[in-house]
Amino acid sequence: MPIENSKVPISLRLKNLSKCYSEAGRKIEILDNVNAELNQGDVVALIGKSGCGKTTLLNLISGIDRADSGEIWIGNTLLNNLSEEELTLIRRNRVGIVFQFFNLIPTLSVIENVSLPRELNGSQGANVSSNAKELLIRVGLGDRLNSYPDVLSGGEQQRVAIARALINDPDLILADEPTGNLDDDTAKEILELLLSVARDRGKTMIVATHSSEIINFADKLYTIHSGNLIPGQSGS
Amino acid sequence: MRINSINTHLIFCIVSLLLLAGIVISCSDNKDSSQTSNIAQSLSGNDIAGFSRADAPRDFIFPEDFGPHSEFQTEWWYYTGNLSTEDGRDFGYQLTFFRRALSPDEIKRESGWASNQIYFAHFALTDIKSGMFYSSERWSRGAAGLAGSQSSPFRVWIDNWFIEGDPETVKLKADDEDISIELSLKSLKPIVLQGDQGLSQKSSDAGNASYYFSQTRINSSGTISIDGQKFEVNGLSWLDREWSTSALGQDQEGWDWFSLQLDDGREIMLYQLRLKDGGMDPFSSGSIVSKNGKLIPLKATDFNIEVLDTWKSPETGTVYPSKWGINIPSQNIELSIQPLLNNQELLVSFTYWEGAVKVSGNGISGKGYVELTGYQSQD
Amino acid sequence: MNYPLLHVSIGYIKKHLLQSILLLIGIAFSVALIVSVDIANQSASRSFSLSKEILSTKSTHHILGTYSDFDEEIYKSLKLKLGLKNLAPIVEDYVNIAELDGRAVKLLGTDFFADLIFHDGQNSPLSNLTQNTLTELIAKPGAALVSSDIAQSAGIKIGETLNVTYGSETLSIEIIGVLDSQNDELSKSLGGLLLTDISTAQELLGKVGLLSQIDLVIDEETPEGLSALQSIRDYLPAGVEVKSKDLLLGSAKSLTRSFELNLTALSLLALFVGVFLIYNIVSFSVIQRRSIIGTLRSIGATRRQIFKMIMAEALAIGFIGSLIGIAGGVLLGRSIVGLVTRSINDLYFTLTVSNFSVSPETIIKGLLAGILAALFAALVPAYEASSFRPINILRRSSFESFFLKSIKLFGLIGVIVIALGYVLIILPTKSLVLSLISVFLILFGASLLVPISTTLLMKLFSLILSPMGLIGRMSPRNIIRSASRTAVAIASLTVAISVILSVSIMIGSFRSTVVNWLDSTLTADIFISMDSPNISSQAGLNPKILDEVINTSGVDRVATVRRISYNSPGYGLFNLVAVTKALATENREFIWKEMDNEQLWDQMQHNSILISESFAYRNNIEPGPAKTIELQTDQGLKEFDVSGVYYDYGAQTGVLLISDDLYRSLWQDDKITSLGVYVSNIDHIDKTVRELRTKLSKYSNLVIRSNDNLKQSAIKTFDRTFTVTSALRILIAIVAFISVLSSLMALQLEREREFGVFRAIGMTVSQLRGMIFLENGLIGLASGLFSIPLGVALSLILIYVINLRSFGWTLNFSIEPRYFIEAIGIALIASIAAGIYPAYLIGKEDVGKLIREE
């Protein structure tokens, strides 16, 4: 493990981050010189219109995508110079991702889905499954351990996804429209769950959303507008 | 009887070889013989070297000379005749055997099929009353017992067609799908030697000639059948025997040949060789046989043949003469000749006209046979 | 299909060109196989009829001797006594051109004045000859016309001499012309021919006074024709028969029919595998387009329109693929024709004409096969597409769960189909077609069993692999989850591998049987025979050779073999083989014999004969006492006791074994086909061989070989016979390979999004690649494992049913471990190779893009 795992107060730092896409021969400056600094335990709401660059920003942070310029620091690790393989390991160990469409593996049971990132790390056995079980009980699915995703409701699937995001005890949780595919009541439950697990464990969490619900709970608020990350300001 | 009207190259080769190189030349009389001979050789594509030539008069020996003369290239036995039933229904017939040597000497070989001799025969019947004419042919190698000829006893045959007997009295037999003939023949006159004691000179070139004798009046009786119907018949036949090694005259187109048996007991044989330029070859000739068998030779200048009418074959489109006026001033003979049936065209491998005719004239009547060749358009 | 839907199709095909190309290749390959085998079969039987129609296309009947040439007087009598017309006499036999690697050609002599040939003007090959050539042909001893194919390959010119061997003689033939015909049909028949005058043929072949055949035209429809036929029958002496050409062709065709049928079955197997391939690709195309199709449905496209769209695509691809396949089949056919012709020459009869003709029927067959296979295979996917409801389009799993629910039903149907196939096999019949149908039923039934077997096997793998962790458990589950396609891929691979396996086992068993048989049969130390003997030729060695061999130092005793080809009304085409004692009974393996070898040989001096297994099988003679066989001999019709039935894997036509003494007393034949020499001192074999070679050098066309040498060459001939089968086996493997490649590739490519998720939650590229290869490997392994019982079962059917019914041969089942290793190896290679491209793409794909879909 080449990455130093020590916890530092500054959890995430974005420095002069820029990203542009070419679309139909035209360059679109989707993120333009973005700067931000998050402390350990910050819960951040990232809002903005659809297509404004929320997902792009999250993908850059998780190392799924690379920035054109600027720096991304997770703790004291600079992502820019890391290889694909190293980025994967960062993602696996220090970032937990919750998707809008849950993205569970259909051929794995609930507990296996949760254990997967841990097993990808090479750990196996009772320890892994007890951790997974613990997490699933925490998200309220202690009785569905051996079910398969296709028999779960959307809310239940997202709970599994939250448990999966936590299994490697990451520093950072990225949730991309985690409630976008759920009805209002369920959305609320899931959001509450996300916030409570993040706060319980003192995780830094960025929730990208276009719903205003989260604003009331977040420590910080960022709005992406025309490629700029504007602190505190809600678009609506 | 059906013969493929599209003659093949094979048939064409052999027929041209046999009929043109053989018959035409043996009947021809051409002054420019050396040239003709060469051209003819290349045309026939066959070398006459090694074959005997009819270059001098010979002693004819009978019956041996009825048999084959293999040292000569070409030979034939040519029977034609007019027959009628008791109640006067008239028929004409032709039964001709040809022999052709592919090479001068026969090589001794193991196989019974080996032979350098080719035989072919034409058989035709004319049913004057019903206006029908039938013709057919046979081909064979002169080997394996399938075809051949011999002098003692005299016999010439292809398959089951044959002529055999002591030459004065012979039997002939032939059949095909629709027709058959079986006749007993008895010669009524002695053999006549045509030309110069049997040497029928065709040109000034020595050897360009044939040996030629005839039986001009042969009593004939027997049966013919047509489409299953049998007829007992009697009448007169004519035999021409000829053998030679010769070639065709390039400027000749064909010939008209007449064998006429007059009711007064005389016979007339005439042939005229037609030239391509429309003229008459001066070597055309003929003969008259008197009642007692005496032969009077005729030169081309002794007779005159005039075509009085023509007939167009519906089958081949060929136009043949169909009426003649013949004038032999020295003998005070003036004849009119007319086919007993216009359509007596042989549709065999080589198309020609050979048919029964009737003769009338100044106090003269009779019957005979006429052969017309070279009328079809050449391509 | 209406215009916008056509656009959707074209757009899709353009975007997924690789899939379409694989589909085209798959269809093209299957069709090519069918077309090429059909061409080979048709060309082979065409070659046979052409070689019988060399001179007279008109002839309807042939007069033939039962076992030999006949007196030429018969021809004369038919013409002169019976007054028959339209005849042609023929003297012929096969000779070999040493310069052309001993190529067998026919030396045929006839009478060009025979009316049948003389008047067959339009069709005569002689029509292009000059009169000089014709004259020479007739009048010059030893002169012949040569067919242009020989002239070309031997580089012989007019006026040169061609040396051919016949028996132990060398014949010098003067080539005076080349046969050629403007007539296309005729020029085809003019291959492998030396045409001579009948006299020349008689002299060259030593058949003076004899004819091989008389061709004639008889219209059996008319009373005249019938009465002519009757009069011929009445006239012909015993041992000479008149047979209609159709009947002769028919009996020749029925001999080779089994051989050809087997090839056809193999080509149909390729199509069978091809159907799987088409199914896979079409259904993949449907799945890939589920959102487009869902959109189309939601904006008003009817189910019928969607169904038609998918079927129309299949039709178009099927059509184009078939066209490519036909072109390829014609090309492939050229080489297969050569192989088939060669096998027929080895096994049945000498073919001198290697005809290559492509009939319109073949083209139509290929086109229909390709299009129908494509339409048939597309039915299910097209139905699936049409049944997408706009609402659950995203749920591929609804079809999968339906499929998973049905696998038990499939399995049940599979069991029933297999049972049906089994019943067909055990039916008391000799029908080859039925046994081939049962092979297809069993393969089909086994394919239906694949889904359930796969599910069970994968569950087992999941347990076995669980120590490997989640990936180990997940891979088998992934395979089950996509069972509708993985099972089809496994089934196609299973079918192909089991066919390959069964053919390998069959050929291997056959080979080991033949090797054993050769060991027990070829007991002599040295063999002397004609080089390149022709199965249909009557040529033999000069009998003087026997004396010379006996009087060679080191020779202990000599056994002789005389083989003649027989065509009797009762027993069809077979070989009569006369042998001396050493080769008769001593080492023969009997299915049944009436008495011990010593007594048997005694009986064989008097009235007993032995028959080979295939002779017994074809003539329904149950091995056992009191069976007799009536044969035409030179002494008239004779009845022989069958005193034994023995194993024989020589000529397929069946063998009747007779003692040499009995043969020579009943037949007037002093020729020898081959000699077996026993040496007094085995250590001096080489010396004796050398001595014999020197002594016999004056005879041409002789081969003097030691025992080992002969065995090797016999096995070489055997291997040659199976070249076609082996070649087809490889081609089937190629179709299967493409099938597996395309389906597994499609399967992995469509999981892009899933892969994206794996990557997003922290799976490395190599972990993902490992998973892809693991899954594909499991699929290959499953196919390999399934193919083993299926392949063995098929090989049993091939060996004990199909071979017996095709050739009348019983083979000893023998199996080698390497066949199984090969089978599993091919399966693994094919499936793992299919993972290469998806695994490569994984590293290239943009993870963000993968998960951003939807």
Q: Which residue has the higher pLDDT, C736 or A174?
A: A174
In a domain, C63, yes or no: no
Partners of B166 in the β-ladder:
B169
Contacts by B150-154, CB closer than 8 A, 24 or more apart = B150/B67, B150/B68, B151/B63, B151/B64, B151/B65, B151/B66, B151/B67, B151/B68, B152/B63, B152/B64, B152/B67, B154/B63, B154/B66, B154/B67
Nearest residue on chain A to C854, alpha-carbon basis = A101
Same domain, C560 and C626: yes
Instruction: CATH number of the domain at B353, please.
Output: 2.40.370.10
Q: Which residue has the higher pLDDT, A181 or B63?
A: B63
Q: Which residue has the higher pLDDT, C507 or B121?
A: B121
In a domain, A13, yes or no: no
> What is the predicted pLDDT for the residue at B40?
26
The count of C-alpha atoms lying within 13 angstroms of the C-alpha of A107, restricted to the half-sphere facing its C-beta, is 22
> What is the predicted pLDDT for the residue at C665?
92
Contacts by B189-193, CB closer than 8 A, 24 or more apart = B189/B215, B189/B216, B189/B217, B189/B289, B189/B293, B190/B293, B191/B60, B191/B62, B191/B215, B192/B216, B192/B287, B192/B289, B192/B293, B192/B295, B193/B60, B193/B295
Any idea which of A63-67, B105-109, C349-353 has the lowest mean pLDDT? Answer: C349-353
Element (H, E) at A136: helix A126-138
In a domain, C126, yes or no: yes
Please give the model's pTM, rounded to 2 decimal places: 0.71
Nearest residue on chain C to A103, alpha-carbon basis = C757
Residue B106 belongs to domain spanning: 9-47+60-372
Same domain, C120 and C214: yes
* b/e burial code for range C56-83 (CB count within 10 A of at least 16 → b): bebbbbbbbbbbbbbebebbbebbbeee
Residues in chain A: 236
Sites in chain B below the pLDDT cut of 50: 1-45, 378-379
Backbone torsions φ then ψ of C647, nearest 5 degrees:
-75, 135
Sort out which chain C residues have CB atoms less than 8 A from B114's CB and list them. Answer: 141, 197, 199-200, 203
> What is the predicted pLDDT for the residue at A88?
85
Sort out which chain C residues have CB atoms less than 8 A from A108's CB and list them. Answer: 470, 473-474, 477
Element (H, E) at C270: helix C245-288
Average pLDDT of the residues in A9-33 = 80
Average pLDDT of the residues in C143-151 = 88
Lookup result for tokens 């608020």: A221
The whole-angstrom distance between C212's CA and the closest CA on chain B is: 14
CB A82 within 8 A of CB A71: no
In a domain, B53, yes or no: no
Same domain, C691 and C723: no
Same domain, C754 and C623: no
Lookup result for tokens 């490629």: A227
Chains B and A touch (3+ CB pairs under 8 A): no
Whether C219 has its CB under 8 Å from any CB of chain B: the answer is: no
In a domain, B231, yes or no: yes
| pLDDT tens, residue by residue, C25-46 | 888 888 988 898 888 888 877 7
Q: Which residue has the higher pLDDT, C133 or B338?
A: B338
pLDDT grade, residue C129 (50/70/90)? low
Chains touching chain B through at least 3 C-beta pairs below 8 angstroms are: C
Q: In this complex, how many residue pairs, one in chain A and one in chain C, have their CB atoms less than 8 Å apart?
A: 76
The whole-angstrom distance between C763's CA and the closest CA on chain A is: 6
What amino acid is encoded at B183 in this protein?
L
Q: In this complex, how many residue pairs, one in chain B and one in chain C, have their CB atoms less than 8 Å apart?
A: 107
- Taking CA atoms, C229 is separated from B44, C86, C244, in Å, by 41, 13, 10
Sort out which chain C residues have CB atoms less than 8 A from B109's CB and list them. Answer: 141, 199, 203
In a domain, C525, yes or no: no
Q: Collapsing DSSP states into helix, strand and coil, what is residue C616?
A: helix
Residue contact A64–C848, C-beta within 8 A: yes
> What is the predicted pLDDT for the residue at C394?
45
Residue contact B4–C121, C-beta within 8 A: yes
Residue contact C397–A150, C-beta within 8 A: yes
Mutate to test the interface with C, among A105, A160, A164, A167 (most CBs of C within 10 A): A105
How many domains does one find in chain A? 1
Residue contact C83–B175, C-beta within 8 A: yes
Residue contact B111–C76, C-beta within 8 A: no
Nearest to B3 among C72, C111, C119 (CB): C119
Nearest to B113 among C119, C121, C198 (CB): C198
Same domain, C8 and C83: no
CB B324 within 8 A of CB B337: yes
Nearest residue on chain B to C132, alpha-carbon basis = B45
Sort out which chain B residues have CB atoms less than 8 A from C122's CB and list them. Answer: 4, 6, 8
Residue C732 reports pLDDT greater than 70? yes
Sort out which chain C residues have CB atoms less than 8 A from B160's CB and list them. Answer: 79-80, 83
What is the distance between the alpha carbons of residues C410 and C403, in angstroms, rounded to a whole number? Answer: 9
CB A85 within 8 A of CB C742: no
| B21, burial (CB in 10 Å: exposed 0-12, middle 13-18, buried 19+) | buried
> What is the predicted pLDDT for the residue at C149?
82
Region of C793 please: left (phi>0), alpha (psi -120 to 50) or beta: alpha
How many domains does one find in chain C? 4
Lookup result for tokens 């009536």: C630
Look at residues C534, C513, C665, C646 and name the one whose alpha carbon lies nearest to residue C583: C646
In a domain, A22, yes or no: no
Look at residues C830, C839, C841 and name the one whose alpha carbon lies nearest to residue C276: C830
Residue A112 belongs to domain spanning: 41-67+82-231
What is the distance between the alpha carbons of residues B287 and B294, in angstroms, rounded to a whole number? Answer: 10
> What is the predicted pLDDT for the residue at C516?
83
> What is the predicted pLDDT for the residue at C333?
86
Q: ipTM of the assembly?
A: 0.83
Look at residues B123, B125, B105 and name the one whose alpha carbon lies nearest to residue B114: B105
| pLDDT tens, residue by residue, B133-150 | 999 988 899 988 899 999
pLDDT grade, residue C9 (50/70/90)? confident
The answer for C 71-130 residues in CB contact with B (under 8 A) is 72, 75-76, 79-80, 83, 111-113, 115, 118-119, 121-122, 124, 126-130
In a domain, A9, yes or no: no
What is the three-state SS of C315-353? HHHHHHHHHHHHHHHHHHHHHHHHHHHHHHHHHCCCCCC
Q: Which residue has the higher pLDDT, C748 or B69?
A: B69
What is the distance between the alpha carbons of residues C662 and C215, in angstroms, rounded to a whole number? Answer: 33
Lookup result for tokens 């799993």: C397
Sort out which chain A residues have CB atoms less than 8 A from C470's CB and list them. Answer: 108, 112, 115-116, 119
Same domain, C72 and C216: yes
Residue C92 belongs to domain spanning: 68-238
The count of C-alpha atoms lying within 13 angstroms of the C-alpha of C615, restricted to the half-sphere facing its C-beta, is 29
Backbone torsions φ then ψ of C146, nearest 5 degrees:
-120, 145
How many domains does one find in chain B? 1
Q: How are strands ordered across the β-sheet holding A77-78? A: A26-39, A10-23, A69-74, A77-78
Nearest to B46 among C76, C124, C135 (CB): C135
Chains A and C touch (3+ CB pairs under 8 A): yes
pLDDT grade, residue A8 (50/70/90)? very low
Nearest residue on chain A to C481, alpha-carbon basis = A107
What is the distance between the alpha carbons of residues A4 and C262, in angstroms, rounded to a whole number? Answer: 70
Cis omega (within 30 of 0) for bond into C789: no
> What is the predicted pLDDT for the residue at C57?
59
> What is the predicted pLDDT for the residue at B105?
81
Sort out which chain A residues have CB atoms less than 8 A from C758's CB and list them. Answer: 105
> What is the predicted pLDDT for the residue at C52?
63
- Taking CA atoms, C759 is separated from A168, C244, C619, C765, in Å, by 15, 77, 71, 7
Chains touching chain C through at least 3 C-beta pairs below 8 angstroms are: A, B
Nearest residue on chain A to C479, alpha-carbon basis = A107
Q: How many CB atoms lie within 10 A of CB C11?
A: 12
Residue contact A91–C397, C-beta within 8 A: no
Nearest to B45 among C126, C131, C141 (CB): C131
In a domain, B349, yes or no: yes
Q: Which residues of A touch C (CB under 8 A)?
A: 55-56, 59, 62, 64-65, 84-85, 88-89, 91-93, 97, 99, 101, 103, 105-108, 112, 115-117, 119-121, 124, 150, 164, 168
User: What does the block give as tokens for B356?
Assistant: 């029964």
> What is the predicted pLDDT for the residue at B19?
38
CB C104 within 8 A of CB C350: yes
Same domain, C390 and C404: no
Residue contact C131–B17, C-beta within 8 A: yes
Partners of B274 in the β-ladder:
B254, B280
Residue C415 reports pLDDT greater than 90? yes
Q: Collapsing DSSP states into helix, strand and coil, what is residue B177?
A: coil
In a domain, A94, yes or no: yes
Instruction: CATH number of the domain at A153, please.
Output: 3.40.50.300
